[in-house]
């Protein structure tokens, strides 16, 4: 006989399929609507027009998903051990943010949540399985996770879980019934207290106010989302990050051992040649070699063109190193004007013509 799964069923299924935390949030309008509209009005979303054009759907998802009555929200930890200092601190190597160290998390979470959604479909006798969202629906996953009791939104605008820190990926399943909450809310009020480590650690000042990030200054946006030139005032501040940035997470007390723990089904592992490559080697890879090395990862989404652009900028910290300089200058005759522009900027470093910043 068909029936809706109980909240206990959902909790157990999510954990069985390798996720680390689960909660249920009601379908209701955003409690931060005014702040998010102001965030867009200030241009803090940079060139991410996809966010601005569907903002009203994000703020009131019932407009777009009238069949959804509540959300099953799940979190998967992507915390891994800190890389060896001799490699991670090597100034001649680049850095990739932790979430890139393995298969694309979109595929991992979609698979795990998809299996949960299929169990829901079978038990409830639905003709189609409920929608699964992993950065693929205009919803506010972090706010939903907070409403579901999975943590609190910290000063750096990331969701912070009290046992996994902000090293979490989020996914959601739209439930066509009003599911009961999984116990009392576990929100941590003022979880950051007076701590300002994340704001102080950001070299570009991207965290402009509590829980407000100006994407135009964010190294993660510059290296992943930005399609054009990396803004020149911030190039010398990227600190060798090639894809993404973990600076505001690495310093967070919630993210440090022994408080933080590894997830129940980890899928990431540090590979020094992929995740802290030597800058000279990273600059030498052809488009085919880059695609082969990062196939099936989120790095592949960045593409070779941005990879070379990012690596040139990261190499600026060592612009006097002859080998690194030679590796950069090899791209001076690139057919791509974006790459040529960054090479010219690199060559100007240390001269009277060096751009400001």
Active-site hit among 20, 34, 90, 135:
135
Q: Quote the CA–CA distance of 67 and 47 in Å, as a whole number.
A: 31
Distance CA 192, CA 188 (A): 9
Cα–Cα distances in angstroms (integers) from residue 12 to residues 123, 291, 319, in the given order: 14, 38, 53
State phi, psi for 208 to the nearest 5 degrees.
Answer: -80, -20
Q: Contact, 79 vs 263, CB < 8 A? A: yes
- Residue 75 β-bridge partners: 21, 170
Residue with tokens 């200058």: 329
Place of tokens 């207290």: 193
Q: Phi-psi bin for 43: left (phi > 0), alpha (psi -120 to 50), beta?
A: left
CA distance 68 to 51: 21
Residue corresponding to tokens 């919630």: 254
Q: For residues 285-312, b (16+ Cβ closer than 10 Å) or e, as one string?
A: beeeebeebbeebbbbebebebbbbbbb
Name the residue among 222, 218, 268, 216 with its Cα closest to residue 99: 268
Q: Which of 121, 188, 127 is nearest to 152 (CA)?
A: 188
Q: Is 230 helix (H, G, I), strand (E, B) or coil?
A: coil
Query: Is the Cα torsion angle 343, 91, 301, 143 positive or negative in sign?
Result: negative
> Which residues lie closer than 8 Å to 20 by C-beta, 6 or more apart?
75, 76, 77, 164, 168, 263, 264
How far is it, in rounded angstroms, from Cα 95 to Cα 298? 14
210 is a catalytic site residue? no
Question: Which residues form the catalytic set?
Answer: 135
């Amino acid at each position: 006989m068909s029936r809706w799964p109980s909240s206990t069923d959902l909790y157990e299924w999510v954990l069985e399929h390798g996720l680390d935390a689960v909660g249920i949030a009601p379908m209701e309008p955003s409690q931060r609507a005014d702040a998010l509209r102001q965030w867009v009005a200030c241009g803090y979303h940079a060139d991410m027009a996809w966010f601005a054009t569907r903002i009203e759907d994000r703020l009131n998802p019932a407009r777009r998903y009238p069949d959804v009555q509540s959300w099953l929200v799940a979190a998967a930890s992507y915390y891994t051990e800190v890389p060896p200092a001799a490699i991670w601190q090597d100034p001649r190597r680049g850095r990739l943010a932790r979430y890139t160290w393995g298969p694309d998390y979109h595929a991992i979470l979609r698979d795990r949540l998809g299996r949960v959604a299929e169990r829901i479909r079978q038990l409830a006798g639905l003709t189609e399985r409920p929608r699964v969202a992993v950065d693929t629906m205009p919803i506010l996953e972090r706010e939903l996770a907070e409403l579901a009791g999975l943590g609190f939104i910290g000063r750096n605008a990331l969701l912070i879980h009290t046992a996994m820190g902000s090293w979490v990926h989020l996914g959601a399943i739209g439930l066509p019934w009003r599911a009961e909450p999984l116990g009392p809310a576990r929100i941590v009020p003022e979880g950051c207290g007076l701590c300002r480590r994340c704001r102080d650690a950001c070299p570009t000042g991207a965290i402009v106010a509590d829980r407000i990030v100006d994407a135009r200054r964010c190294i993660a946006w510059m290296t992943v989302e930005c399609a054009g030139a990396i803004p020149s005032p911030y190039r010398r501040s990227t600190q060798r990050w090639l894809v993404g940035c973990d600076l505001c997470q690495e310093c967070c007390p919630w993210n440090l051992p022994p408080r933080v723990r590894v997830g129940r089904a980890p899928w990431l592992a540090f590979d020094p040649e992929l995740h802290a490559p030597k800058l000279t080697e990273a600059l030498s890879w052809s488009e085919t070699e880059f695609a082969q090395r990062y196939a099936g990862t989120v790095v592949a989404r960045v593409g070779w063109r941005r990879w070379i652009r990012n690596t040139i900028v990261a190499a600026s910290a060592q612009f006097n190193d002859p080998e690194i300089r030679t590796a950069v200058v090899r791209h001076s005759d690139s057919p791509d004007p974006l790459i040529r522009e960054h090479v010219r900027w690199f060559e100007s470093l240390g001269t009277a013509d060096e751009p400001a910043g």
